[in-house]
A and B are shown apart, each in its own frame.
Chain A
Amino acid sequence: MHISFLDPFQARDSLVHRLDPRVKAVLTLLYVLAVSLTPQGAWAAFAAFLALVLTAAWAAKLGWSYSLRRSFIALPFMLAALAVPFVTPGPAIYEVPVLGWTVSEPGFVRFVTILLRAWLAVQAAILLTATTPFTDLLWSLRNLRIPQALVAMLGFMYRYLFVLADEALRMNRARAARSPRIVGAPRPPIGWQARVAGSMVGSLFLRALERSERVYAAMASRGYDGEVRALVRFQMLGLDWIVLLGVSLSLVAILTLTLVI
């Protein structure tokens, strides 16, 4: 029973997979930046950005819809923007029946823009993680001078998320196995059930804490001295530079054109 649904990497042999991970990390960041800087309602620019991410997905041999389908995972977070169309002042274009709340036009445009920005940014991140093994991604972040402690934490998170999820799964099963129901007997009170769930979370935390001590001992046993070290893995090749420059320029071009027009 191994939880591995979270492993996003899709092994393919493609141009995008072969790129230096630093190029992909930097371009993803620039892409997210460009999308967030695009003004409200600049639909043509958003279409161009969408075309860019779809082209990258196609070049990565993931299929057109790979990142599209996966990007819906971010939908719940977009709910946070749900109030925007109602609270932004401006001419009303729609009124919710019964409640009488009005949707303003600028509010609606702003809402759709926020959705598009989030949706496009998530797609870029999905592409990045689908085409770059996590270890390479960590290496590139370290190489790009992201603080070492932060990168090391990401690495441990990735390594132990699965172990922890497995542990939680086992605990849940153990609880389910000892939660019989007798027909006609009353269910245990909800407060009691909540207390059980709470103490399960607590014991999961304690287990994680104890594991962290054992992991640290294992690291110290092999010479860990508090400094994070890594081997050099990648060299920038001609193609990497071309892609880096090409994509950054198109991002800048789209943004400039939008701002000028």
Chain B
Amino acid sequence: MHHTIDVKNLHYTYPDGQVALRGVDLYIAPGEKVALVGPNGAGKSTLLLHLNGILRGDGEVQVCGRPINDKTLGAVRAAVGLVFQDPDDQLFSPSVFDDVAFGPLYMGLDEGSIQQRVEQSLDAVGMRGVERRVPHHLSGGEKKRVAIATVLAMEPEILVLDEPTAGLDPRTRRGLINLLRELPQTMLVSTHDMGLVAESFLRTIVINEGRVVADGPTQKLLADDALLESHGLEAP
């Protein structure tokens, strides 16, 4: 097993000319859980979209030991579960069941295993019994949990989450932090929630203006006031 993320000298410019990534390097070892922090517009979301080949910039992105190209795209997307910030983007099907079954269906699983995966992943996020519900009738916290279930159903080796705690009330946020802690996957989590960073991640990567500006043990980075200040961050 080879659940790594390996990014070398990644550059990306949006079609409108806005430069988002200016040479990002990072390596995440199997089973490691890493926080990705940085001010708004630093390139966090852009970087995350490269990890399963939604965006393809210049440079090298290897996921689970495989480079991302047209041939490996399907396998990479099955291996990397990307949870979007807005669950209304993530949950696009008319029912929760359809949404959680979407990934497994496209992986070509048979009906029995799809059923099983839907049950297991809703179980994992504590949302059994909402299969028939319509996503827009769920609360914000429930949507978030179901959104995570939709990627867990693909049994990914790596989980990539964009702002998982944004807009959640304290109790729901606590539940989500516990959930993230329990999940065994290699994890890269982009967030502004410095409390979450301090509590759940041993390693933190700071990016700003499309570059990695710091990468190291969370405790050490959070103690460096000058670093935090210059990149618009705050210790919890």
Contacts and interface: CB of A to CB of B under 8 A. Distances in A.
Nearest to A157: B94
Contacts of A220: 54, 77
Contacts of A221: 52, 54, 77, 80-82, 84, 151
A230 B104 CA distance: 11
B120 interface: no
Interface in B62-87: 74, 77-78, 80-82, 84, 86
B27 interface: no
A5 interface: no
Interface residues of B, number: 36
Nearest to B135: A159
A217 B92 contact: no
A223 B77 contact: yes
Nearest to A229: B105
A124 B151 CA distance: 39
Contact residues on A (Cβ < 8 Å of other chain), bracket: 20 to 34
B114 interface: yes
Q: Interface residues of A: mostly helix, strand, loop or mixed?
A: helix
Contact of B94 (A155, A214, A215, A229): A155
Interface string A216-256: 01111111110001111000000000000000000000000
A41 interface: no
A203 B8 CA distance: 38
A131 B93 CA distance: 20
A232 B106 contact: no
Interface stretch (B95-103, B163-171, B208-216, B219-227): B95-103
A7 B154 contact: no
Interface string A187-217: 0000000000000000000000001001101
Interface in A14-51: none
A142 to B, nearest CB: 12
Contacts of A2: 136-137
B84 A217 contact: yes
Given A7-B134, A162-B136, A218 B92 contact: yes
B54 A217 contact: yes
B199 interface: no
Given A225-B106, A231-B105, A138 B89 contact: no
A30 B169 CA distance: 51
Given A2-B136, A218-B84, A221-B77, A159 B101 contact: no
Nearest to A217: B54
Contacts of B102: 219, 222-224
Contacts of B94: 134-135, 138, 155, 158-159
B150 interface: yes
Interface in B126-148: 132, 134-137
A231 B137 contact: no
Interface of B: 49, 52, 54, 74, 77-78, 80-82, 84, 86, 88-95, 98, 101-103, 105-107, 111, 114, 132, 134-137, 150-151, 154
22 contacts: A135-B93, A135-B98, A155-B93, A159-B92, A163-B88, A211-B88, A214-B89, A215-B92, A217-B84, A217-B89, A218-B92, A219-B102, A220-B54, A220-B77, A221-B52, A222-B103, A222-B154, A223-B77, A224-B102, A224-B106, A231-B111, A232-B111
